[in-house]
Structure 1
């Protein structure tokens, strides 16, 4: 890995907060649906947690990006980190004292995700103020690798800890981890808007962000190709059926299901650990297009695989390709947008990242019901490539985009 950004004290502090919370947040992500199922015995209520989490992510992701462009981003990180920590503490309290109300859990989850939706674009927008442009790709790789580390090992840790320490303690671990990050955020430098004007953000600011995006073809294309990859090519909704009917899991679940869910973040994490070569590529637009095409090919091959371990290899390769795409797309977003719009662009990215896979769950589920999982998955991979070609033809500026030349 290229660790040069860690030599910058302010970025190192921000990165340490990501390291600490990467697994903690995943413990809560496992604990909430587990508690909801324990309280209701219904997968329908468990599915409702997805909707409860999605709505605040969509609403506050856009608004949070606008807020991040109009206030001191350090203070906003302090407020939202505190809010996330407090709601995590309340989740612990309701579990520890056996309140046994599914609606209390869902309300706290919604509030937690609202704070998270504001925190996420703010945290991303901060990076470009802490590191020079030429170090954006490795800085983003360092951040993303820790997130993927949490996605791989967090659920595994939760599964191992649940029978030992109990469900409420998972919430407590997350609360403690979040509290520890507040000091690191407090030590960051102030990051006022470059205009020096601090003000309230409203609907007009959100709409200004969309108008700005429409005029910036490179930024618009970065969102379009990401939507294509996620909506057409994310087959995770089919994992339960494929685990049982294609790869031989017992009806109650087994090894195959766990590996299918782990393979994509595992591949992403591994490419992050070997990401030093990414800084040597200047044609970021080409890199994104090629990596998304590779994602589509790997998903296509996964749909045709009848061996579990071959399927895992293709999913891991898909995760690696997606990580490369994500690093360069986020670098483009940071470098090609002005600082006064950077938070709003990150907010829009939050919406794409949160909403795209959930739309994919719906579309792949319907397709598989009609034509089967193999055709739905492989067809989605091919559709990614076809739509990607169309997008590049309509927005050729993205293909030509190069990283900014380092300032001397």
Structure 2
């Protein structure tokens, strides 16, 4: 009886086998702690911007400030990850992101109160993230066996979403306790301190130089030719293109993040409510991750991805109609659980489709799409709210995302027919 219960539990409880790999375990710990710290900044910057401008449109411009560096340096960082030691690249780019966070703390301490300065520092921070993200993701298939890649991705997403829950809630407590000016200063200081954990984790990684490709293949470069090689490979893989397309639709049209400061102030009186809104999506992702033992057993990964994106859009739309904080948080949490499933399958499809010599470049494209989409979503949500109001922006975006995903799935069936190849080795191609 006990063995049967254990077997059933393993089918549903999150798969922790990758934590037995020391390199992955250190990276997992460092990323989780540093992402928790980053959430203080992720809440503080839009709160400070809204306090300075009283406009969701300006909050949306933060997405533009982050998007432009992502478009440029995400692609370059991915190409560089196929050419240089990924550990050293991760260290250098993380240092730049830490310095930008230090700049946010400095401007708050000096009471510079400049919306333009916030945009500029956000752009610099985005450069560091754009370079580090493809390197970090391209490392995973090199340090865990191929059959553990979905489990490793699930663990990574779940841990960062735990930070995405606890960080905004803690930030909400800060803003509920202190005035806005003091609150943003405390939030930035916490992020600066916790960021150091990621340096320790990256420093302890082994050297991860690029693998040699076939003898008849040109040596990859970090320049335009290397980027073009990755894009040419991507252009021939309809499944990858469609997985990117549905994510862009989901994030651009259904991400309500830029509306959180305004809605928290108008519907719920501000204070700690903004922390609950910023943490709600991540809260659902945590629950989805902790009950994700089934994810690795699904063979129809493309269909599961499509269903998850449709569920995301519908849950977001319903949450925008809620006028009780608990109900809005609950519906956003449902959206977050769907987003966790979507994220794991998108990442796993990419990592099993791409040979190692191209993984960095394709992770660069992935970074541009995954991180750039929400920034465009911030711009869309904020601009639409300034014209039509936050409810129209929020609800209409969710419904549009769900509808467009259905259209894409029916028009291009390659994604919903996708199944992972059997016996993938994950790290030697």
Length-normalised TM-score, structure 2: 0.81
Deviation of 1:47 (Å) = 5.5
Instruction: Evaluate the alpha carbon distance shift between residue 195 and residue 276 of structure 1 in structure 2; reply closer, same or farther with a 3 A threshold.
Output: same
Q: Does 1:174 align with 2:186?
A: no
CA contact (8 A) 2:315 2:334 kept: yes
| Corresponding position of 1:137 | 150
1:215 maps to which residue? Answer: 236
**Local SS of the residue matching 2:222:** coil
CA contact (8 A) 2:168 2:276 kept: no
1:374-407 CA distances to partner (integer Å, 9 max, x unpaired)?
5654444443333223322333222122223246
The aligned length equals: 402
Residue 334 of structure 2 corresponds to residue 317 of structure 1: yes
Alignment partner of 1:393 out of 396, 410, 424: 410
Q: After TM superposition, list the pairs within 5 Å mapping 1:14-163 onto structure 2.
A: 14-33=27-46, 48-92=61-105, 95=108, 98=110, 100=112, 102=114, 106-161=119-174
1:291 is matched with: 308
Q: Please, which moves more after superposition, 360-369 or 119-128? A: 360-369
What is the CA–CA distance in structure 2 between the aligned matches of 1:100 and 1:365, rounded to whole Å?
24
Give the match's secondary structure for 1:352. Answer: helix
Aligned-pair distance for 1:91?
4.4
Are the equivalent residues in 2 in contact too, given 1:133–1:404 (CA < 8 A)?
no
Q: Alpha-carbon deviations, 1:234-256, whole Å to 9, x = none?
A: 334455565566xx434xx3565
Structure 2 partner of 1:249: 268
> What's the counterpart of residue 254 of structure 2?
233
Shift of 1:99: 7.5
> Counterpart of 1:397 in 2: which secondary structure?
coil
User: 1:56–1:117: 8 Å Cα contact kept in structure 2?
Assistant: yes
Q: Distance in 1 between matches of 2:45 and 2:382?
A: 24
- Whether the aligned pair in 2 keeps the contact of 1:249 and 1:255 (CA below 8 Å) is no
The answer (yes or no) to whether the contact 1:233–1:384 under 8 Å persists in 2 is yes
Stretches of structure 1 lacking an aligned partner (at least 5 in a row): none
Residues 82, 360 of structure 2: 8 Å contact kept: yes
Deviates more, 1:112-121 or 1:230-239: 230-239
Q: Distance in 2 between matches of 1:231 and 1:30?
A: 19
1:141-186 alpha-carbon deviations (Å, 9 max, x no partner):
1111222122222133234457678755544443333333323212
- Note the alpha carbon deviations across 1:236-290, whole angstroms, 9 max, x for none: 4455565566xx434xx35655443332221112211222221221221111011
* TM-fit CA distance, 1:139: 0.7
Separation in structure 2 between the aligned mates of residue 143 and residue 132 of structure 1, nearest angstrom:
15
Q: 1:376 to 1:156 in 2, by over 3 A?
A: closer
Summarize deviations over 1:39-62 as a string: whole Å, max 9, x none: x56657665544333322222112
Name the counterpart of 2:290: 273
Structure 2: distance between partners of 1:180 and 1:370: 42
Distance 2:251 2:304 in 1: 17
CA distance in 2, matches of 1:173, 1:394: 47
In structure 2, the residue matched to 1:202 is 223
Q: Cα RMSD (Å) of the superposition?
A: 3.2
State whether residues 24 and 144 of structure 2, in contact with CA within 8 Å, keep that contact through their aligned partners in structure 1. yes
Q: Which residue of 2 aligns with 1:264?
A: 281
CA distance in 2, matches of 1:297, 1:42: 29
Give, in whole Å, the separation in 2 of the partners of 1:112 and 1:84. Answer: 5
Using the TM superposition, give the Cα deviation of residue 88 of structure 1 relative to its aligned residue in structure 2, in angstroms: 3.4
CA distance in 1, matches of 2:262, 2:183: 29
Q: Identify which of 345, 348, 351 aligns with 1:331.
A: 348
**For residues 360 and 150 of structure 2, what CA distance do their matches in structure 1 show?**
18
Question: Any conservation in 1 of the 2:30–2:200 contact (CA below 8 Å)?
Answer: no
The normalised TM-score by structure 1 is 0.85
How far does the alpha carbon of each residue in 1:186-215 deviate from its partner, in whole angstroms, 9 at most, with x for none? 222222221279875112222222222110
**1:296/1:382 contact within 8 Å kept:** yes
**Partner SS state of residue 193, structure 1:** coil
